[in-house]
A and B are shown apart, each in its own frame.
Chain A
């Protein structure tokens, strides 16, 4: 993936660029808004990571100009501020996601990956399959190794969320946002207990793991 990072702080910028490159992305790092806008308008990127407060042209102006010129590139806004106005203003201007500083790199990388692979508006699948697990979205039934598993509606939703994004790490806050539409970072074990309940139903009886815990980041389901 080709990613443009517009960030004025050299350490954060360097860290983001290095981290994203280690994950196999091609990264361009630009320290100010005007240059960032120029890059974004002339080259094609899969994702832009944009700091809200950058010199010469602030982040939201960059975003506004991009959207005014009908540029649909997914944009993740980094903000030091976490007020209602900042959040709503950012999303209204056309940001696809936002992250409040400071953040863990795992969180950023998971969100960038989610934006890169925005599901194409193709046909809705009716069947999700990973290894010997099968989820039927029409009948709302889950089977593993041919055996039916009884899940609560939210357990179903949580498992579906992970299955639809298989291979990609989903952080605790991403799961809360995606499944419950709740935007906050709860006590450490809140999401963990939900995952362990699902595990007790889809892993324990079958003696083989399905949901992988990624230390310091979140969870993912792999083939």
Chain B
């Protein structure tokens, strides 16, 4: 059932309303028809009984025949057919079929002799030693059927079709509006804060209000992010310059000091400052990427060629540390991206694998637009997969290895900016990082 139900709420509601409408209409008509038909049947039965008892109360056979003859002569054959046969005599306006009790006959089956109704209800039995047959025309029932057929054909079916058509069109329109809102939400979710719901056709004030609310929210968020970006670039300027100043002074100090303990201390201070500067630089870069800046400048990137370059660059260093980099490329497709950022992403993943595994194979693979990096190290427990993507998170076991705890956070920021999917999984043994990028539409 669920497989058949449409996902769009307006469409589903429209179908439910149409269903309920048809159901109620059908139920109402059925009840009315049954009631009317019941009344008509009762009326026919009463009429039959009345005629039969009228004949039955006549004591003499001859008089009964006389009365039947009168009735037959006066009767409209479409409404009443009657025959009576007793003691070798008979009267009536029909050659009655032989049956006992109540019966129902089509008009065509009752022989010729004037007009016939389409259907008759009848009673036949022994009355005063003779056989009396009374058939009452059921023209009224036929009319009832015709009227209901007309109601069905001329009003119910067109009304249902019309309602369905209107309902479905309205549902589709509302659905399109809902889709537009959902698309906008999706774009906002991946950080495209400039996304707004496109104006739709009039006729759905509630959805329009939601769309307007969404736009207002997006605007507020965009303004807030813009303010944050402004603040971070202010920080970049106001805080980086002093850090640079310290670095400059330390560099000068270590150059002017004669070799010795003081010079060694100055060198260490300079190196420590370089670490601070690097952490600071990456943090700022992550913040900047999270602002979604530059998304519009993404273009086609040949990821296969990029992977070949990076593999080549890292291979000698990897071999020295007991690693082997293995590259496999299948059906590469140009991806939407920024080459510099993507090269940083891949380099970070490779360096991460080099740093956190004692040796072994590092498998780089590109299939279509999906990039995977797999190592043969100890891996990361699944419970920590989300945490390692956060900035400055360092696993207990990696506190002793050098690193800022920003490598994977930067990878996450770059994938988010690219509207790409990032997934960590267990390669058993080892860590597998999967990045699904968007293809560049040619």
Contacts and interface: CB of A to CB of B under 8 A. Distances in A.
A83 B287 CA distance: 10
Interface residues of B, number: 42
Interface of A: 9, 11-12, 15, 53, 80-85, 87-88, 100-102, 104-105, 154, 176, 180-184, 186-187, 189-190, 192-194, 196-197
A12 B281 CA distance: 17
Given A82-B284, A197-B316, A184 B351 contact: no
Nearest to B291: A83
Contacts of A101: 240-241, 244
Contacts of A105: 248, 251
21 contacts: A9-B244, A11-B245, A53-B237, A82-B281, A82-B288, A83-B294, A84-B297, A84-B341, A102-B243, A105-B248, A154-B312, A180-B312, A180-B313, A181-B339, A182-B310, A182-B347, A184-B340, A189-B317, A193-B316, A193-B320, A194-B316
Contact of A11 (B248, B341, B347): B248
A196 B317 CA distance: 10
B343 interface: yes
Given A100-B281, A181-B309, A84 B237 contact: no
Contacts of B355: 187
A82 B236 CA distance: 10
B21 interface: no
Do most interface residues of chain B lie in helix, strand or loop, or is the interface mixed?
A: helix
B247 interface: yes
B313 A182 contact: yes
Given A83-B289, A180-B309, 14 more contacts: A9-B244, A81-B236, A82-B284, A84-B297, A84-B298, A85-B294, A101-B240, A101-B241, A101-B244, A102-B277, A176-B313, A182-B347, A186-B347, A196-B316
Interface string B283-314: 01100110001100110000000000110111
Interface of B: 233, 236-237, 240-241, 243-245, 247-249, 251-252, 277, 281, 284-285, 288-289, 293-294, 297-298, 309-310, 312-314, 316-317, 319-320, 338-341, 343-344, 347, 351, 354-355
B243 A88 contact: no
Max chain A C-beta neighbours (<10 A), residue from B241, B284, B339: B241
Given A101-B240, A101-B241, A190 B313 contact: yes
Nearest to A184: B344
A81 B313 contact: no
B351 to A, nearest CB: 5
A179 B113 CA distance: 113
A107 to B, nearest CB: 12
A83 B414 CA distance: 11
Given A53-B237, A84-B293, A180-B309, A104 B317 contact: no
Contacts of B298: 84
B244 A184 contact: no
Nearest to A176: B313
B240 A15 contact: no
A84 B340 contact: yes
Contacts of B320: 189, 193
A193 B317 contact: yes
B241 A12 contact: yes
Max chain B C-beta neighbours (<10 A), residue from A80, A154, A189, A194: A80
Nearest to B247: A102
A194 B343 CA distance: 19
Nearest to A181: B309
A12 B309 contact: no
Contacts of B297: 84-85, 88
A156 B318 CA distance: 20
Contacts of A192: 317
A187 B277 contact: no
Nearest to A192: B317
Contacts of B288: 81-83
Contact of A183 (B233, B236, B310, B340): B340
Contacts of A100: 281
B346 to A, nearest CB: 10
